[in-house]
Structures are given as structure tokens and as C-alpha cells.
Amino acid sequence: MKKSLIIGLMVFLAFGTSNGFAQKGNLSFGIITTQFHNNDGDARISEIDNPLGLGAIVGYQIHSRVGVGVTAEYFNDNMQNFSGTEKDFRGNLSFFIFPVSFNRLHPYISAGAIYTHREQNFDDGRNRNKNWIDARMGAGLDINLFRNINLNTDLGVYSDGLNVVGWGSSVGLRFALR
């Protein structure tokens, strides 16, 4: 069911919008998935071993070389070193600089802040909630597949201000409006 829904959405975006909307636009929205990777030691991005986040992204192209994006992601899995589960919600605000463009390929660098709300439920009945903000720096590539559909790949490093706590690699699919 999930797979057919995703395929249906992709077909709609590819064919249903190629003539229905204006050319490349300033506002875009889409879906994203991120594989987070923990660093060793106490400073970690999560207690889950390499969690997978799913979410949505809204982007705005301020200028041909500058953009801003807001991402909301969620993941939920068993903790690696403890008995119990962890649920994280992450909100990311980032700015993007596109130094060069090559036909349909648009590499970029980015920097921003990530808000995390974490809920840990231990099997012994204890619960822990925590909120914090990390910094994120990254680089990626926007690939223009169709007139207003972009595939995005990204690699980012997360820091709590003192330590690098992990990194993430993501893939997204965005649809551009006027």
C-alpha cells in the first residue's frame, strides 16, 4: 500500500504537473528521507543506531544563487544501548548557496539550525523528554528531473557547539510552484 501510494505520487508529480504549472518556480515542497549516523562516544545524534527519518520540506529560492529551506522529520525505533524506544521530531531551518550551475545539476553548500524534541520510553517504565538545538553544515546536489521536479541528495554534519555529534545523508523529491 505504501509503495503504491509513493509510486502514484511520483507519477502524478511527473506527468500531472509538467504542463499544468508555470516554469521553474520560487516555492517548492516535497518529501525527504534521512539516514542519521552517530559518532562514537557520549556526543551522539541519537540513541538509535543509525536512525532513519522521514519528513517533508518546503523551500524558497530567494535569488538564483540563494535559497532557504524548512524541513520537518520524524523517526522512531529501539535504542541501541538501552532497553526501550526513542521518538525524535526534528525541525531544520537552513540557508543554501548555489555557487555554480551545470544545465540540470545545481550543487550547493548549506548551513542552519536543527531543533530536536526527543522522547525516550525505557522498558523499566522511565520516560525522558529533551529539547535542544544543534548546528548543521552540509553540501548537496539538486538535480532537475522535469520542468518543476527536483531530486535532491545531501550530506550534512551536526554539531552541538562543542562536538560533532553525527552526520546525515538524505534524499528528497521536491515539486516547484510559481
Strand-pair partners of 150: 144, 174
Residue 5 has pLDDT above 50, yes or no: no
Find the radius of gyration of the CA atoms of the chain.
18
More confidently predicted of 46 and 157: 157
Residue 20 has pLDDT above 80, yes or no: no
How far CA 119 is from CA of 9, 46, 134, 144, 167, in Å, comes to: 31, 11, 17, 37, 20
Phi-psi region of 88 (alpha: psi -120 to 50; beta: other; left: phi over 0): beta
The model's confidence at residue 80, banded by pLDDT at 50, 70 and 90, is confident
Residue 24 has pLDDT above 50, yes or no: no
Residue 145 has pLDDT above 50, yes or no: yes
Domains, in order of start, for the chain = 2-176 (2.40.160.20)
Q: What's the pLDDT at 121?
A: 93
Instruction: For CA atoms 24, 26, 30, 36, give the dihedral sign.
Output: positive
Residue 27 has pLDDT above 80, yes or no: yes
Expressed in percent and rounded to 5, the helix, strand and coil fractions of the chain are: 10, 65, 30
CB 13 within 8 A of CB 157: no
More confidently predicted of 41 and 149: 149
pLDDT in tens, 38-67: 877 777 788 888 899 999 999 999 988 999
The model's confidence at residue 19, banded by pLDDT at 50, 70 and 90, is very low
- Residue 5, φ and ψ in degrees, nearest 5: -65, -45
What nine digits make up the cell of 13? Answer: 508529480
Mean pLDDT, the chain, as a whole number? 84
CA 66 from centroid of its chain's CA atoms: 18
pLDDT in tens, 96-128: 999 998 999 999 999 999 999 999 999 998 999
